[in-house]
Structures are given as C-alpha cells and as structure tokens.
C-alpha cells in the first residue's frame, strides 16, 4: 500500500461508515464493549476479504478477464490489449486500497476493546 495516495477525507468517511454499526449496536446492547469488539472483528474480517480481492484488481490480475468481457466494444473503438493495459495502469496509479486498510483498523479496534473488557 502506498500511503501517499491516501485521502484523509475519504478515509474519515469510510471510518464513519464502518464504525456506525458497531457503535449503534454497542449503545443498544447491555454489554457495550464486548458487542463493539465482536462487531468490529466481524466487519474487519469481511472488509479484509474484500480488500484482498481489491488488491488483486489494483495490481491488474483481472485485466485480461475484463478485456475479454469488453472485447467487442473495445475492438469497435480500436483499442488493442496493450493500449487497454496502459489505460488501466494509468487509472490505477493513484488508487488506494481502503477496504484492506479499514479492515486492519477495525481488527485493531476490536483487539483494543477486547483488552479493555
């Protein structure tokens, strides 16, 4: 992960969205920290799963599959595979894997709140 590509505004929006359910669930339940810890762990694990898949996409592992699926449209536009790869690489250049990073943060929140319990 390149941390220079991270946007603080986007990170805070994702953190707010990801922490919304655990905080609401913790406020409603009787055992606040335990429910918060469990919710953060589950959301963090699911987020890491999607983050790993997103990492494959960001490294270009599925470029050939997307080219094959869009081959007819791309051929009509006169784009060959090498041009398509260069376009995709340029598009991914400034991207950051937020689901993976947020998933790691959620697991850290879960561990810290579990230690406090």
Q: In which band, very low, low, confident or very high, does the pLDDT at 9 lie, cut at 50, 70 and 90?
A: very high
Give the whole-angstrom CA distance, residue 102 versus residue 83.
Answer: 33
Q: What is the mean pLDDT of the chain?
A: 89
Under the banding of pLDDT at 50, 70 and 90, the label for residue 46 is: very high
Q: What is the pLDDT of residues 15-26, one digit of tens each?
A: 999 999 999 999
Quick check: 4 pLDDT over 80? Answer: no
What percent of the chain lies above the pLDDT cut of 70? 97
pLDDT digits 0-9 by tens, 52-88: 999 999 888 888 888 888 887 777 777 888 888 888 8
Contact residues for 67 (Cβ-Cβ < 8 A; gap 6+): 74, 81, 84, 85
**Smallest Cα–Cα separation from 75: which of 67, 87, 66, 65?**
67
pLDDT, residue 2, reads: 66
């Amino acid at each position: 992960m390149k941390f220079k590509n991270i946007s603080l505004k986007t990170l805070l929006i994702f953190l707010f969205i990801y922490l919304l359910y655990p905080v609401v669930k913790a406020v409603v339940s009787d055992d606040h920290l335990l429910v918060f810890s469990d919710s953060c762990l589950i959301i963090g694990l699911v987020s890491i799963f999607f983050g790993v898949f997103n990492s494959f996409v960001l490294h270009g592992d599925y470029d050939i599959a997307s080219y094959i699926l869009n081959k007819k449209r791309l051929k009509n536009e006169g784009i060959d595979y090498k041009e398509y790869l260069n376009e995709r690489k340029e598009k991914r250049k400034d991207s950051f894997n937020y689901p993976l990073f947020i998933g790691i943060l959620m697991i850290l929140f879960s561990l810290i709140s579990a230690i406090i319990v």
